[in-house]
Amino acid sequence: MKELIPEALWHVDDAKKAGLYFYHEVIEEYLPGNRVKVAGHGEMLMLGGYSYLGLNGHPAINAASQRVIEKYGTGTHGVRMLSGTLEIHRQLEAKVASFKDAEAAVTFSSGFFTNVSAIVCLVSPEDTVVCDKLDHTSIVDGCRLSGAKYVRFAHNDMDSLESCLKDSSLPGKRLVVVDAVFSMDGDIIKLPEVSDLCRRYGAALMVDEAHSIGVIGRTGHGIEEHFGLPADTVDIKMGTFSKAIPSVGGYVAGSNKLCELLRHQGRGSIYTAPLPPPAAAAALAAIEVIEREPERVRMLHDNTRYFADRLRSVGLSFLNSQTAIFPIVCGDNWQALRMASSCQRRGLYIQDVQSRRFGFLRICFARRSRGSRWYTKHDKLMPCVICGNNQE
Ligand SMILES: Cc1ncc(COP(=O)(O)O)c(C=O)c1O
């Protein structure tokens, strides 16, 4: 056992010693205006979560969840394939299918497991799966577990993708998997080009919309709406219910045949429990709210533009982000830790991201960030606070 556990745990021990540790902090309460009460820190402005549309606690979503608890309780006591399929699962799947303009949809108990289940089901060791270098870990794990030949192309680089697809030594069927919005960098995949290349080289295309559903496109319908592309651009439309949608779980939308396959052979349908009923009801109600209240998406887009301008005005760069995720590069990982700590001391819930590329702060400037009491008071100073330059 001893050999399995390293002596020093990554940078955790050092961060604790330096008084810069800020992970697993306990949130005691969600407060209005995107604020949270954090144990040992008091009230903070939440800029580290993904409440893109400010939907958590929406009365219609809470009520839908409560109604379903009255009807089914809180669990299913079984996997989807055997005894765990409830009417609420089917209702949610019909809603996702219509929201994503697909024939059908199938849901799973986590976004992570949705990617693993789908990829493992679709490709095998005789095939090839091609991914963007910055794709989410759940995609990477799905590819590895599938045993397919796993090839990566340079981030959002279409020449690099084409040279992978051209390579005639790669075996079998080809599946290209990309994030729609990259979760660390906040930039958007060049979907028109990716889709053209997939068609030209006969590859199927799967897109992960964890950070684009409810977020991009004029009415929040995601990546196809953002680019004005037809609904059949993406073959396997994957997404989660854990970011803009205040629940948990994931989906794949696509053809009837695809969903039939995932229902009967996806590991997430056979070997693990489905979405708990209140979570399924919350996801369904949240999609209905997104459809009914498009002003939420407009406000998110306005806020994103506003915050980007504020950061630019003081010379802060945020890579190629085009969404509400702002990666503020701050040199090495220690510098990022120190800058994050300086933000936290000023009441901003912002965390550093430790990466092999560089250390950075990741800020998610969601719908309700602006207009909160804290933000209004500090608006002019905000970018300086992030830089750690304000002397107040
Ligand atoms: C791009 C992407 N895909 C998938 C996931 C996994 O989703 P979930 O947290 O709902 O399991 C995440 C979560 O961070 C993500 O960012």
With a 6 Å cutoff on the Cβ, whether 210 touches ligand 1 is: yes
11 falls in which pLDDT band (50, 70, 90)? confident
Rounded to the nearest 10 degrees, how much is the dihedral formed by the CA atoms of 378, 379, 385, 391? -50
269 and 369: one domain?
no
Residues 252, 139: Cα–Cα separation, whole Å: 13
Phi, psi of 133 (to 5 degrees): -60, -25
249 and 276: one domain?
yes
Give the DSSP per-residue string, 352-370.
EE--SS--EEEEE--TTTT
Question: Of 292, 320, 336, which closes a domain?
Answer: 292
- The residue whose CB lies within 8 Å of the most ligand 1 atoms, and thus the one to mutate among 110, 183, 207, 209, is 183
Residues 254-298: tens digit of each pLDDT: 999 999 999 999 999 999 999 999 999 999 999 999 999 999 999
With a 6 Å cutoff on the Cβ, whether 327 touches ligand 1 is: no
98 and 233: one domain?
yes
Name which of 343, 379, 374, 376 is nearest 361 in CA terms. 343
Could you tell me the distance, in angstroms and rounded to a whole number, from the CA of residue 134 to the centre of ligand 1? 13
Per the structure, the count of domains in the chain is 2
319 lies in which domain range?
2-52+294-387
Residues 348, 307: Cα–Cα separation, whole Å: 15
Given a contact cutoff of 8 angstroms between Cβ atoms, the answer to whether 155 and 134 are in contact is yes
193 and 135: one domain?
yes
119 and 201: one domain?
yes
283 and 150: one domain?
yes
Residues 264, 385: Cα–Cα separation, whole Å: 52
Write out the two tokens for 28: 């005691």
Name which of 251, 201, 277 is nearest 95 in CA terms. 251
242 and 365: one domain?
no
Give the CATH number for residue 23.
3.90.1150.10
Determine, yes or no, domain membership for 119: yes
Question: Of 292, 307, 338, which closes a domain?
Answer: 292
* Cα atoms in the 13 Å half-sphere on the side-chain side of 263: 18
148 and 159: one domain?
yes
Q: Whose CA is nearest to atom 9 of ligand 1?
A: 111
310 and 266: one domain?
no
Given a contact cutoff of 8 angstroms between Cβ atoms, the answer to whether 362 and 290 are in contact is no
Residues 136-179: tens digit of each pLDDT: 999 999 999 999 999 999 999 999 999 999 999 999 999 999 99
Determine, yes or no, domain membership for 186: yes
332 falls in which pLDDT band (50, 70, 90)? confident
Helices then strands, counting H and E runs in the chain, come out as 15, 14
With a 6 Å cutoff on the Cβ, whether 138 touches ligand 1 is: yes
Query: What is residue 385's predicted lDDT score, i.e. its pLDDT?
Result: 61
Give the DSSP per-residue string, 233-247.
G-SEEEEESSSSSSS
Question: Of 257, 292, 327, which closes a domain?
Answer: 292
Res. 17: pLDDT tops 70:
yes
Determine, yes or no, domain membership for 392: no
246 and 350: one domain?
no
Residues 392, 386: Cα–Cα separation, whole Å: 13
Determine, yes or no, domain membership for 303: yes
Query: What is residue 390's predicted lDDT score, i.e. its pLDDT?
Result: 46
Residues 199-247: tens digit of each pLDDT: 999 999 999 999 999 999 999 999 999 999 999 999 999 999 999 999 9
Write out the two tokens for 102: 């697909």
Give the CATH number for residue 90.
3.40.640.10
251 and 194: one domain?
yes
Determine, yes or no, domain membership for 363: yes
158 and 199: one domain?
yes
Which residues, 6+ apart, have CB-to-CB distance to 357 below 8 Å? none
Determine, yes or no, domain membership for 365: yes
